[in-house]
Structure 1
Amino acid sequence: MKKFLILVITIVAMISCSKDGSDNPSGLKIRLSNSSQYNFKDIVINTTTGDVNFGNLNSGQKTEYKEFNKAYRYAFVKLEIDGKTYTIQPIDYVGETTLKNGSYTYQIDVNNTQDQYTNLNLTLIEE
């Protein structure tokens, strides 16, 4: 009986200590929020790991979350408004730290300038 109890305790300990990534199953998830009065078309985000297409996003709406391997508080953003392309182009990420696993929203807004590169504002919201 004593050997059986030791065997059961050992098996339970081994199962509970497995390193299958279940300690943080949520990973790094990002969604977009359109806080402007405009509808966005063909949205592409790049957090340094490649382009991720978010499709279209109407004014006041949010996308579903997408998984990312790595991201920062800001990112490359390209989208269209009324047939015109607008871009947020980060210069680099020197001095920035990567986001920790969790859920985040990149909130995108539009200011009143007509310049392709200064028209968009990106705000990180931690969920």
Structure 2
Amino acid sequence: MKRFAFLVLVAAIFIGCSDRDDNLDGVNIRIKNESSVTFDLVQVGSEAMLHENIGADEYSGYLEYETAYQYAYINIKVGEENYILQPIDFVGETPLENGFYTYALNISEAGDVILNFRVD
């Protein structure tokens, strides 16, 4: 009887578990600030997709995108300064599958945006 109860418990745990990306309708992207300054505003793609107040070595919340790629137009605002990563095009690129991703961002000494793409 104990074995049967144990098997039922194990089966219930496995049936109840699901990945957080099951049944997603979009691509969820967050920002990780890998720099030593606070990002006041980070625009990823369109003007409507804004991540705000991301401290050094911190993460933003996820925003849901209909379509996204491993890289994107990124505008980082720090005080009065803007740092921009401007892709030329997405020809030949495959859109990301529905799921969770992180754009880890840093700013080089020359003022260039450095993007490290990660699957969460």
Aligned to 1:121: 114
Q: Distance in 2 between matches of 1:66 and 1:44?
A: 11
Task: Please list, as runs of the form range in 1=range in 2, the aligned pairs for 1:49-64 lying within 5 A after superposition.
Answer: 50-51=46-47, 52-64=49-61
| TM-score, length-scaled by structure 1 | 0.72
Instruction: Say if 2:100 and 2:119, in contact at 8 Å, map to a contact too.
Output: yes
Q: Does 1:99 align with 2:96?
A: yes
Deviation at 1:82, TM superposition (A): 3.4
Deviation at 1:81, TM superposition (A): 2.0
Task: Please list, as runs of the form range in 1=range in 2, the aligned pairs for 1:52-91 lying within 5 A after superposition.
Answer: 52-91=49-88
The structure with the largest alpha-carbon Rg is 1
- Aligned residues between the structures: 98
Say what the alpha-carbon RMSD is for the aligned residues: 1.6
Deviation at 1:24, TM superposition (A): 3.9
Instruction: Say if 2:52 and 2:60, in contact at 8 Å, map to a contact too.
Output: no
Deviation at 1:38, TM superposition (A): 1.2
Corresponding residue to 2:23 among 25, 34, 59: 25
5+ residue gaps in structure 1?
A: 1-22
Deviation at 1:66, TM superposition (A): 1.1
5+ residue gaps in structure 2?
A: 1-20
Runs of 4+ in 1 over 6 A off after TM superposition: none
Q: Distance in 1 between matches of 2:36 and 2:71?
A: 21
